[in-house]
């Protein structure tokens, strides 16, 4: 027989196992036909190899599924995350904030309006609203709270009503806790938003005691006692959510025969986002089935932009669970390190934010000890409202951070990149004209912006950018790129104030006295050069003098006339523009911000701290220049255009 | 006359008992090869674990009409199978007889074994069971 110590046992593949068995048989004389697929011995070897392969695969899978890092099946990942006290996110309903105008009337004569004035009219929870998605399909919304109507500006109105996308559903179970079995109730619906679940526990089917109280979902057992009317949730092996209750020590237990009613919202998740985007004062797109509702107005932001439905999410995927579960455990529901903040916000606020960036006050410029800064890039818009920031500071972080540390949510700083691209293309390789080539390149640039920029800690690399443009069409021979950077700030109009505008990239300054690299959008400034007694306010701009001083000038035709010789400084090394006592009187029509533009020294641009680099679609300039193709490269005297 | 001297030793796929030794019966030399040929001919696609390609395809064409084209196709498949997977056998001649009365196809393979100067033959009958 062969030396069995040489028989390898590390093979997992069927063919390799069979080869090993054949090698083993080569060392004996009893059988010789193992090498021939038709032989009976080959069939026996097939069976042996198959069985070995099967067992090896099974053992491998069992081992894989036992660890969070290697588990493949969702149910395994969810189960392992359970050990880390992590509950995966369910599907989340998109939210839409609206003002609901009720039937108008005269408060002196109309009984309905009088009820509103007296505070007796309510928009009940469970009210159904309808909108349409981008494809024109009807989408349902529902209220989960009761709102009181009020008389505001001559209207009967319910303000700031939060609508949840989906249908509210109801399930009832009779609890059976006989034999000491814990009562668990499955919600047989994969589209449930678990955050909207409310439970009512009635004493029995015939005794309605308890119907007035809604039991709340608990995520923190530290605050519970034997009377806490809470329930817990977990995801079962089949992906369905289960509701269960306390044991009478941690959380109130339910009794045998209790009637458990579960209310929840069945939602479309992310598909419910963006509804209401086309709402206008003349054409309302959200309707309500309640006949006392006169009009539903979708809210707008300070700039008049419609705030369509947002925050809808599909269930948390396996990779996200794998990422957040250990971090959540590491944070222990406390915000101490920057990673803790990130994990907590990732769990609590990821439905509304694309990205977070956190840094300690000691790292701030200037340092602010005792603070931690959180910069959030929201999914909708470029900044959070004041109320949203306060909610994060107090509700999510305030209860979990160190008492001596104050969290402060700050807006991300957007640094706009304005590329000026010249494309040289071969006319013979495309049917497009120059405008077509330009248009296609612009589309690719926007795509580059979405793929490579728009997040914290992302940099602009000119070579990647150029290669994207080269790839925009087979006809593109080459391209050149020039870059400028822009930053917006909101000046206090009519009030002198200092401003620091950080570009955080080295600026172009080859020699002292170099031509200006700073420019600005138009703003109104007092013309100190005027000989008039009352100095007029005129259109002005900013630039630098090439020696690090920022000036304000006005235009007389094409000539610059300096109005203020020194309004601040520009540091070409750090990219910091400092304005002292800057007092703009007005901005360009419709603008709320003043734009400063500089030329960077390098074409690779770096985003630092809470800076987000973006290509402003209005700042893209593309020029396509056709090249002649008939250049005779082997003829030295050939004319360039052949 | 040359005689094969136990160049092939295989298990009997029926796992019969050897009456003398009480061990599993063995097949030797040409008997082992004949069994091997029979097994190869009867192999269906996917029957061999992880090797679905090892199949003569004979059983795939059983429900075709047995016309001259089908017979040629069958011969080609069997010959190819033997050439690839039964390398102990030299070029074989294959006869296929359609026994209409019995609803049967009889496949006879005439072959020589390498290094053995003798012609062997084996017959596999494919017959409907009901």
- Predicted TM-score of the model (pTM): 0.60
Crossing angle for the helix pair A338-349 and A318-331, nearest 10 degrees? Answer: 130
B55 and A CB contact within 8 Å: no
Chain B nearest-CA residue for A37: B85
Model confidence over A325-368: pLDDT tens digits? 998 888 777 888 888 888 888 877 777 788 889 888 888 877 88
CA angle A22/A24/A26 to nearest 5° reads 70
CB A186 within 8 A of CB A242: yes
pLDDT grade, residue B104 (50/70/90)?
A: confident
Residue A406 pLDDT: 86
Structure letter (DSSP) for residue A515? P
Cβ within 8 Å of residue B120, ≥6 positions away: B30, B33, B34, B110, B111, B112, B113
Residues 6 or more apart in contact with residue B44 via CB below 8 angstroms: B55, B59, B60
Residue showing tokens 């198959």? A50
Please list the residues that pair with A621 across neighbouring strands: A420
How far, in whole angstroms, is CA A255 from its chain's centroid?
43
In this complex, which of B13, B43, B85 lies closest to A36 when CB atoms are compared?
B85
Site from B18, B50, B55, B86 to mutate, A interface, most A CB atoms within 10 angstroms: B50
Mean pLDDT by 10 residues, chain A (642 residues): 62 88 82 81 91 93 93 92 88 91 89 90 91 86 93 90 94 83 85 92 87 82 85 87 89 89 93 87 89 88 77 87 87 80 81 84 83 85 77 80 84 90 88 88 89 87 91 89 91 89 92 93 88 86 93 90 92 93 86 90 89 86 78 52 42
Q: Which SS3 state, helix, strand or coil, does residue B49 take?
A: coil
Residue A481 per-residue DSSP state: E
Q: Check if the beta carbon of residue B52 is closer than 8 Å to that of residue B46.
A: yes
Question: Apex CA B117: angle with CA B115 and CA B122, to 5°?
Answer: 100
In sequence order, what DSSP letters do the residues of B57-103 get, joined into one string? -GGGGTTS---HHHHHHHHHHHHHHHHHH-TTB-S-EEEEEEEGGGT
Tell me if residue A384 falls in helix, strand or coil: coil
B11 with A49: Cβ contact below 8 A = no
Nearest to A390 by CA among A405, A410, A372, A371: A410
Quick check: helix, strand or coil at residue B121? strand
For A369-418, the pLDDT digits (tens) are: 888 899 988 877 777 877 778 878 887 787 788 778 888 888 888 899 99
CB proximity list for A144: less than 8 A, separation 6 or greater: A125, A126, A162, A164, A168, A196, A265
Q: Which of B6, B7, B8, B10 to mutate to test the interface with A (most CBs of A within 10 A)?
A: B10
C-alpha dihedral (A292, A294, A296, A300), degrees to nearest 10:
-130
Name which of A33, A34, A50 to mutate to probe chain B: the one with the most chain B Cβ atoms within 10 A of its Cβ: A33
Contacts of B1 (CB under 8 A, 6+ apart): B118
- The closest of B23, B17, B61 to B41, measured between CA atoms, is B61
Q: What is the pLDDT of residue A2?
A: 47
Ramachandran quadrant class, A121 (left: phi over 0; alpha: psi -120 to 50; beta: rest)? beta
Closest-CA distance of chain A to residue B101, Å: 31
Partners of B30 on chain A (C-beta within 8 Å) are none
Q: What's the CA gap between A201 and A216, in Å, rounded?
A: 11
Q: Chain B residue closest to A31 (CA)?
A: B9
């Amino acid at each position: 027989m062969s030396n069995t110590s040489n028989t390898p046992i590390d093979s997992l593949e069927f063919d390799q196992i069979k080869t090993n068995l054949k090698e083993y048989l080569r060392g004996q004389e009893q059988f010789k036909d193992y090498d021939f697929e038709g032989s009976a011995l080959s069939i026996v070897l097939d069976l042996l190899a198959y069985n070995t392969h099967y067992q090896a695969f099974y053992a491998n899978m069992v081992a894989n599924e036992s660890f969070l890092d290697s588990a493949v099946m969702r149910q395994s990942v969810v189960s392992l995350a359970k050990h880390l006290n992590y509950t995966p996110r369910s599907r989340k309903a998109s939210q839409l904030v609206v003002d609901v105008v009720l039937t108008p009337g005269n408060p002196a004569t109309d009984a309905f309006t009088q009820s509103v004035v007296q505070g007796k009219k309510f928009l009940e929870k469970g009210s159904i609203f309808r909108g349409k998605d981008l494809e024109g399909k009807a989408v349902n919304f529902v209220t989960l709270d009761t709102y009181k109507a009020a008389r505001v500006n001559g209207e009967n109105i319910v303000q700031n009503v939060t609508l949840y996308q989906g249908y509210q559903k109801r399930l009832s179970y009779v609890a059976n806790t006989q034999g000491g079995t814990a009562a668990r109730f499955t919600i047989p619906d994969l589209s449930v938003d678990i955050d909207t679940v409310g439970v009512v526990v009635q004493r029995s089917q015939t005794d309605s005691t308890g119907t007035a109280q809604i039991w709340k979902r608990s995520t923190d057992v530290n605050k519970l006692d034997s009377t806490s009317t809470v329930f817990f949730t977990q995801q079962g092996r089949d992906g369905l959510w289960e509701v269960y209750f306390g044991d009478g020590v941690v959380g109130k237990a339910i009794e045998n025969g209790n009637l458990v009613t579960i209310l929840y919202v069945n939602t479309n998740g992310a598909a419910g986002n963006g509804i209401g985007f086309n709402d206008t004062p003349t054409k309302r797109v959200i309707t309500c089935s309640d006949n006392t509702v006169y009009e539903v107005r979708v809210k707008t932001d300070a700039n008049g932009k419609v705030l369509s439905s947002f925050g809808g999410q599909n269930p948390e995927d396996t990779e996200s669970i794998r990422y957040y579960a250990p971090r959540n455990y590491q944070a222990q529901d406390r915000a101490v390190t920057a990673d803790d903040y990130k994990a907590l916000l990732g769990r609590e606020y990821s439905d509304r934010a694309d990205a977070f960036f956190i840094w300690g006050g000691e790292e701030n410029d200037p340092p602010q000890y005792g603070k931690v800064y959180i910069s959030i890039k929201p999914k909708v818009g470029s900044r959070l409202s004041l109320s949203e920031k306060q909610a994060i500071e107090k509700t999510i972080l305030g209860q979990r951070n160190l008492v001596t540390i104050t969290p402060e949510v700050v807006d991300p700083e957007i640094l706009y990149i304005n590329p000026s691209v010249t494309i040289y293309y071969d006319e013979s390789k495309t049917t497009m004209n120059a405008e077509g080539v330009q248009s296609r390149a612009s589309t690719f640039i926007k795509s580059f912006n979405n793929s490579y920029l728009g997040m914290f800690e992302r940099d602009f690399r000119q070579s990647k950018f150029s290669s994207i443009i080269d790839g925009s069409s087979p006809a593109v021979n080459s391209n050149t790129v020039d870059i400028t950077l822009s930053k917006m700030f909101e000046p206090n109009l009519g009030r002198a104030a200092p401003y620091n505008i950080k570009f955080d990239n080295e600026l172009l300054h080859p020699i002292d006295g170099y031509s200006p690299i700073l420019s600005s959008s138009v703003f109104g400034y007092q013309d100190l050069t005027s000989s008039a007694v009352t100095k007029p306010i005129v259109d002005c701009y900013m630039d630098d003098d090439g020696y690090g001083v920022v000036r304000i000038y006005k235009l007389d035709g094409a000539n610059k006339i300096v109005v203020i010789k020194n309004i601040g400084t520009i540091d070409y090394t750090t990219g910091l523009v400092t304005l002292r006592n800057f007092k703009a009187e007005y901005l360009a029509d419709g603008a709320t911000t003043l734009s400063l533009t500089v030329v960077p020294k390098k074409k690779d641009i770096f985003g630092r701290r809470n800076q987000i680099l973006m290509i402003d679609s209005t700042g893209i300039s593309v020029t396509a220049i056709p090249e002649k193709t008939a250049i005779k490269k082997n003829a030295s005297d050939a004319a360039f255009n052949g | 006359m040359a005689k094969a001297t136990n160049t092939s030793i295989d298990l009997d796929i029926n796992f019969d008992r050897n009456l003398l030794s009480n061990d599993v019966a063995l097949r030797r030399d040409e008997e082992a090869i004949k069994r091997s040929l029979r097994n190869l001919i009867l192999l269906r696609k996917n029957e061999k674990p992880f090797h679905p390609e090892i199949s003569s395809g004979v059983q795939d064409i059983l429900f075709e009409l047995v016309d001259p084209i089908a017979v040629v196709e069958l011969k080609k498949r069997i010959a190819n199978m033997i050439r690839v997977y039964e390398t102990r056998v030299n070029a074989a001649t294959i006869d296929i007889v359609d026994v209409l009365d019995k609803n049967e196809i009889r496949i006879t393979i005439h072959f020589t074994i390498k290094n053995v100067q003798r012609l062997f033959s084996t017959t596999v009958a494919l017959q409907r069971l009901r």
